[in-house]
Amino acid sequence: MKTLDDLLAEGVTGKRVFVRADLNVPLDGTTITDDGRIRAVAPTIAALAEAGARVIVASHLGRPKGAPDPRFSLAPAAVRLGEILGRPVAFATDTVGESAKATVAALGDGEVTLLENLRFNAGETSKDDAERGAFADELAALAELYVGDGFGAVHRKHASVYDLPARLPHAAGRLIATEVGVLKQLTDEVKRPYVVVLGGSKVSDKLAVIDNLLTKADRILVGGGMVFTFLRAQGHEVGGSLLQEDQLPAVTEYLSRAKELGVEFVLPVDVVAGPGFPDLKAQADTGPQTVSAQNIPADLMGLDIGPESRELFASRIADAGTVFWNGPMGVFEHPDYAEGTRAIAQALVDSPAFSVVGGGDSAAAVRLLGFDENAFGHISTGGGASLEYLEGKTLPGLAALED
């Protein structure tokens, strides 16, 4: 796989370089609430601009239905990218239309433009090879070279990720190179004990990675909304907590396999519960309650791991050699239910382990809760991509960058 440094050594001055980034940042209206993904790709863009390239940045944001939707415009990302780079970033109001062509044509050496949301075009995400290829042809006409650096999208067989690299000389950007190097440390070069911490809402999102990690991890710690399916599989009452009953057979099998393989499977012993959704802020009068994880009252919903569980989880992380964490332990956005996620983050900071925080929610939680990003071994920009890599899958966007 050719790297950005290889490309720079060959010379990029005056050349139009298409950078597939992942600027899929959370927005509150037009305000970016977490710019981590923009900051992560900025070094690649800056290196190209400083070398005199004419840089064309493209990304998706959200899930528009293949047509323009102002709620998912990348205009705020263009402003923030310019602030981070310390140089103007022109913004094209379409992706392959007249604005894009004119904006790209106007680029001088060392200048940067950002195209409008790739997913405003049906061809970007189409499952039809011909439709996707036609859109890739239009993108290829804008540039001479391609740099893939949108790690959060490399598990998608999309036009800008999979088809476009086949049409242009290509290389992997610095972010992708870093992410792949980190993931190899989680699969091929693991320092033990290897502890995996999984959270988030749906157990179905994590079953494949659990299946693969059962033969690799020494301990698997489970929290978040997904834990209640595990607790129910053990015969416990989970009250009004999130529950995927259709996944109970699979979860029961994984618990049995973990025991057979000698993998320590750690579940909460207590949870912080409340009346539940949709409006947590309106529940201040009720307040959170700490209850046993084995018998959650019918009128309560588990929303975080409890204080005993925080200590338990921290103790199982303390002596780790490697820790991979994907998914918050609770509804961290609400202060009453953030302490479990905070405890995991603090345990990673305190541990001498090589720690990897994977997934947008986990990364956002680390920043929201005020932790120094440099206190962790690595904060990944790609939750789904990281999980699929750890599942042992071939990622289309990485395969496309290989020579």
Positions of E strands within 30-93: 31-32, 54-58, 89-91
Instruction: Count CA atoms within 13 Å of residue 379 on its CB side.
Output: 22
Query: What pLDDT, on a 0 to 100 scale, did the predictor assign at position 286?
Result: 63
Which amino acid does the sequence have at 43?
A: P
Q: Given this model, what pLDDT does residue 277 score?
A: 63
Rounded to whole angstroms, the Cα distance separating 129 from 294 reads: 50
Residue among 165, 75, 166 nearest 117 (CA): 75
The pLDDT of residue 139 is 98
Is 119 part of any known ligand binding site?
yes
CA distances to 9, 27, 53, 293 from 280, rounded to whole Å, are: 54, 20, 49, 20
**Residue 14 known to be catalytic:** no
- Flag whether 109 is marked binding: no
Q: Binding residue per annotation — 22?
A: yes
Q: Considering the domain 4-173, what is its CATH architecture?
A: 3-Layer(aba) Sandwich (3.40)
- The residue behind tokens 């919903």 is 301
342 is in an annotated binding site: no
167, 202, 216, 393: which is the annotated catalytic residue?
A: 202
Q: Which of 123, 274, 384, 397 is catalytic?
A: 384
Nearest Cα to Cα of residue 309 among 273, 276, 285? 273
Q: How high is the pLDDT of residue 386?
A: 87
257: three-class secondary structure by DSSP: helix
Residue 257, marked binder: no
- Hey, CA dihedral for 177, 182, 183, 185, is it positive or negative? positive
Tell whether 360 is in a known binding site.
yes
Residue 58 pLDDT: 98
Q: Which of 16, 20, 37, 80 is catalytic?
A: 37
On whether the CB atoms of residues 20 and 63 are closer than 8 A, the answer is no
Q: Do 4-173 and 181-391 agree at the fold level?
A: yes
Residue 296 pLDDT:
95
Q: Is 362 annotated as a binding residue?
A: yes
> Does residue 278 have a cis bond before it (omega within 30 degrees)?
yes
Q: What is the 3-state secondary structure (H, E, C) of 333-376?
A: CCHHHCHHHHHHHHHHHHCCCEEEEECHHHHHHHHHCCCCHHHC
pLDDT of residue 186: 87
Q: Does 361 carry a binding-site annotation? A: yes
Looking at the DSSP bridge assignments, the partners of residue 357 are 325, 379
**Known catalytic residue: 384?**
yes
pLDDT at residue 283, rounded to an integer: 52
Query: Which pair of tokens denotes residue 231?
Result: 């607790």
Find the Cα–Cα–Cα–Cα dihedral 222, 227, 232, 237, rounded to 10°: 110
DSSP readout, 285-297?
TT--EEEETTB--
Burial readout 362-378 (b: 16 or more C-beta within 10 A, e: otherwise): bbbbbebbebeeeebbb
As a whole number of angstroms, the distance between CA 112 and CA 21 comes to 13
> Is 80 known to be catalytic?
no
Residue ranges covered by each domain of the chain: 4-173, 181-391
b/e per residue 60-86 (b: at least 16 CB within 10 A): bbeebeeebeeebbbebbbebbbebbe
Q: For residue 61, say whether it is annotated as part of any ligand binding site.
A: yes
Active site residue 110: no
pLDDT at residue 279, as a whole number: 57
Tens digit of each residue's pLDDT, the chain (403 residues): 999 999 999 999 999 999 999 999 999 999 999 898 999 999 999 999 999 999 999 999 999 999 999 999 999 999 999 999 999 999 999 999 999 999 999 999 999 999 999 999 999 999 999 999 999 999 999 999 999 999 999 999 999 999 999 999 999 999 999 999 998 888 887 899 999 999 988 888 888 889 989 999 999 999 999 999 999 999 999 999 999 999 999 999 999 999 999 999 999 999 999 987 655 555 545 679 999 999 999 999 999 999 999 999 999 999 999 999 999 999 998 999 999 999 999 999 999 999 999 876 888 899 889 999 899 999 988 878 888 888 888 999 999 999 7
In the set 274, 327, 330, 360, the catalytic residue is 360
Match domain 181-391 to its CATH number in 3.90.800.10, 1.10.1060.10, 3.20.20.10, 3.40.50.1260: 3.40.50.1260
Task: Give the separation between CA 202 and CA 224, rounded to whole angstroms.
Answer: 9
Q: Is 114 annotated as a binding residue?
A: no
- Annotation-wise, does 156 bind a ligand? yes
